[in-house]
A and B are shown apart, each in its own frame.
Chain A
């Protein structure tokens, strides 16, 4: 009788995956080690339209000088989401929460929670027939709406030096509803809310940044790929790259893969402008191009065994370099306490606050059923009612 390993051809399959990983890792390492050696000296600000358009400062790596957090107030905003699809109704539960950390001179962190420590969730029910994709978009938009509205509102109640959003400062491309969707107006409203948030932070003098936990962006890889032939020509030490299939490496790497290898802990990447980035990113463009031009991003390596943070920043009317210096100097000490997990502590706390658990959804469903029984609208999907499961 064959074993499960034999039936599944497990050994061969796993060996194949291992070899693929080894090949790609070796290539990435080889590529990165060359770049790493010139990371401080390589000047990306070439006299090329692409470089001028996207690169704010020259070198691949910049050493960040951490600031003393004592006396600073930092706000983190996060949102939680749960969705349940029933036969005739889409239930969406969201909870947005702001955590404000105050770093006291006594080396303690005190916290304020807004609107409250145990914020009740917001429940929405969508009864209009919608597609699967629209259901996903609707749920995501509800969370974004809750988060951005709260980020605006919290500034009326609490003054902080830095406001951190968990996620991008723009809606993700997947949040855009399909054409003629019933949620198009909701989407437009959210884009308007982002604009309102940017204006609000300028009014209150608060620095605004979005920290993307698991960025899959290849923006820098694409720009770098365009610039690299010019850089190789100008820098003899990069000639060795020609021996590698560097174009494939660039195409198959996320920005965070690259910067994990190239940046040391306490270093940041060059600053990238986000204007007109539809072609190079997964995030949506804002309708207001003037505001787009004030968005930048950078990568910050804060932990030895974790990949760098992807940080988007609204620079407003200020010099992006100065703003990024200030923000990275704050983010570094508040994200480097765990060698294996890089995220600002305030966002870790905000995540715990906003998180919703399945039990909340079950409770809501039970409450509905208690009132009206189990009409067709409340029938669970067949996939959830499969016999023998």
Chain B
């Protein structure tokens, strides 16, 4: 096995130790002339040590140069106005020192803890691709999200490891969340029956995912036969599926007496209808005609039902028929972009998820993955009354694993996300996040996030992601691959859209 030598381990006050090694990068001259950067923060290196092959992760890189170590000397020599390099051979004395954290020992396919440090003077090399891929826990088949940053290694994650315990895709606005989610969707939709195909629901708040269903992809790829787009105005919630408690969820001021009375009314109506569907209008009539109900209770219930009726969400049956749409290898994009009211969106999400949870629990639909855009709107950390969908989302987060109903929550404000939901996500995919409150929240909810990792998150560039958690043995930085399907107008830049709009205006003038 031929590996590229990168440097040599040096002694420091603290190392080399099992926790930290520092190595000086070799062959500065070659680097200088060829303008190559030999190592990067985030890159992996290997060291042959007594215990076996140590794989380490570069956490910091420093440069040193004896000509610049004394402030006063530098100041005085630069006052002449000459470039420092015209006075002294500064290039010859620049050394690059990298600080790396040993992650583990790779021995015959097994990963073990590092319990004995490598020796000073040991050679640090670029790791063999196959070994590194195995070490990090990449899969040969699975969800191919891109490639490992600074290494030409496909970043392919095992489906079960990634989705068994939910995924959180977190990033600031414009960092590429939807793009990365689209890549995940492409991967899931590309699976063959022999590989196992989950069904997918995408809760698309801004209509960003409809491009997946369009026939002209960037690389000619299309999933139009596998995707159904459901616009929110077409969604109807089956009133007969609603219990009094469910109504109470959407009318938080409803008291126990009102819930009890409504339960009785619903039961009476169901008996009278003999299995025939009914809607809120029917329920209102039944309530008005009930002789035994207290007048005040009736008036209050009528008011709440009227409010719900005005949302135009509740019908006699469920539309669409989710059990028929949610098939293996099929995706439903629930486009909420036409719905302005957040309350209404939350009710839709709540109702659909409750229905899916039931369908999945009784095995009517295959294992499912729910992509939830702008998740902080649907399961905020704030009290339940402010988000009707928070309850079901926390239930799915806690219990969904048992029924193979997985969440992929996508958010630009992790700090506003329910801690319960976030902490249940086994895999976190971070793109660039700079908000310090968001970063603190991430640190608090994930034990695998170190301070150094947190710092890296804020310096990621668009398209770069950090994957942490169940899907991988160690945190990995990846470059998200190019998507094969068409990007929606949201992916276009401001100037392009403005130009197109202007052109359109000229034609009509």
Which residue numbers of A lie inside 8 Å of B, CB to CB?
101, 103, 107-111, 113, 117, 336-341, 345, 348-349, 352
Contacts and interface: CB of A to CB of B under 8 A. Distances in A.
Rank and list the top 8 A-B pairs by shortest CB-CB distance, nearest first: A111-B89, A337-B80, A338-B76, A107-B86, A337-B87, A109-B89, A108-B85, A338-B77
A338 B66 contact: no
B66 A337 contact: no
Given A108-B85, A108-B86, A109-B87, A337 B77 contact: yes
A341 B75 CA distance: 12
B77 to A, nearest CB: 5
B73 A110 contact: no
A338 B76 CA distance: 5
12 contacts: A101-B89, A103-B86, A109-B85, A109-B86, A109-B87, A109-B89, A110-B89, A111-B92, A337-B80, A338-B77, A338-B80, A345-B88
Nearest to A341: B76
A352 B89 CA distance: 12
Nearest to A101: B89
Contacts of B80: 336-339
A113 B92 CA distance: 10
Interface in B85-126: 85-89, 91-92
Contacts of B87: 109, 337, 345
A73 to B, nearest CB: 13
A338 B82 CA distance: 10
Which of B73, B77, B80, B88 is packed against the most chain A CB atoms within 10 Å?
B88
B296 interface: no
Nearest to A337: B80
Interface in B30-46: none
Nearest to A340: B76
A335 to B, nearest CB: 10
B86 A352 contact: no
Nearest to A334: B87
A28 to B, nearest CB: 26
B89 A349 contact: yes
Nearest to B83: A107
Interface residues of B, number: 15
A117 B77 contact: no
B507 interface: no
B274 interface: no
Contacts, number: 44
A348 B76 CA distance: 14
B79 interface: yes
A108 to B, nearest CB: 5
B92 A117 contact: yes
Nearest to A113: B92
A339 B85 CA distance: 18
Interface string B50-84: 00000000000000001000000100110110110
A117 B92 CA distance: 9
Given A107-B82, A339-B79, 5 more contacts: A101-B89, A107-B83, A108-B83, A339-B80, A340-B76
B332 to A, nearest CB: 64
Contacts of A111: 89, 92
A303 to B, nearest CB: 9
Contacts of A338: 73, 76-77, 79-80
Contacts of A101: 89
Nearest to A336: B80
Contacts of B88: 109, 345, 348-349
B83 to A, nearest CB: 6
Nearest to B80: A337
Contacts of A117: 92
Which of A103, A109, A117 is packed against the most chain B CB atoms within 10 Å?
A109
Nearest to A111: B89
A109 to B, nearest CB: 5
B82 A337 contact: yes
A339 B86 CA distance: 16
A339 B83 CA distance: 15
Contacts of B66: 352
Contacts of A103: 86
Contacts of A341: 73, 76
A111 B66 CA distance: 15
A331 to B, nearest CB: 14
Nearest to A303: B76
A373 to B, nearest CB: 26
A336 B77 CA distance: 9
A74 B246 CA distance: 90
Contacts of A337: 77, 80, 82, 87
Nearest to B92: A111
A41 B84 CA distance: 38
A344 to B, nearest CB: 10
A349 B80 CA distance: 18
A101 B86 CA distance: 10
Contacts of A336: 80
B267 to A, nearest CB: 90
A63 to B, nearest CB: 19
Nearest to B66: A352
A111 B83 CA distance: 16
Contacts of B91: 108, 110
B80 to A, nearest CB: 4
Contacts of A349: 88-89
B30 to A, nearest CB: 15
A357 B75 CA distance: 26
A339 B76 contact: yes
A107 B82 CA distance: 9
Which of A108, A117, A337 is packed against the most chain B CB atoms within 10 Å?
A337
A337 B77 CA distance: 5
Contacts of A352: 66
A103 B88 CA distance: 9
Nearest to B76: A338
A308 B89 CA distance: 25
Contacts of A110: 89, 91-92
A67 to B, nearest CB: 15
Contacts of A345: 87-88
Nearest to A305: B76
A94 to B, nearest CB: 21
A334 to B, nearest CB: 8
Nearest to A110: B89
A66 to B, nearest CB: 12
A350 to B, nearest CB: 11
B204 to A, nearest CB: 57
Which of A101, A108, A110 is packed against the most chain B CB atoms within 10 Å?
A108
A101 B91 CA distance: 13
A301 to B, nearest CB: 15
Contacts of A113: 92
A309 B483 CA distance: 69
A340 B77 CA distance: 9
A278 to B, nearest CB: 38
A25 to B, nearest CB: 24
A337 B86 CA distance: 10
B343 to A, nearest CB: 68
Which of B66, B76, B87 is packed against the most chain A CB atoms within 10 Å?
B87
Contacts of B86: 103, 107-109
A253 to B, nearest CB: 27
Contacts of B79: 338-339
Contacts of A108: 83, 85-86, 91
A358 B390 CA distance: 69
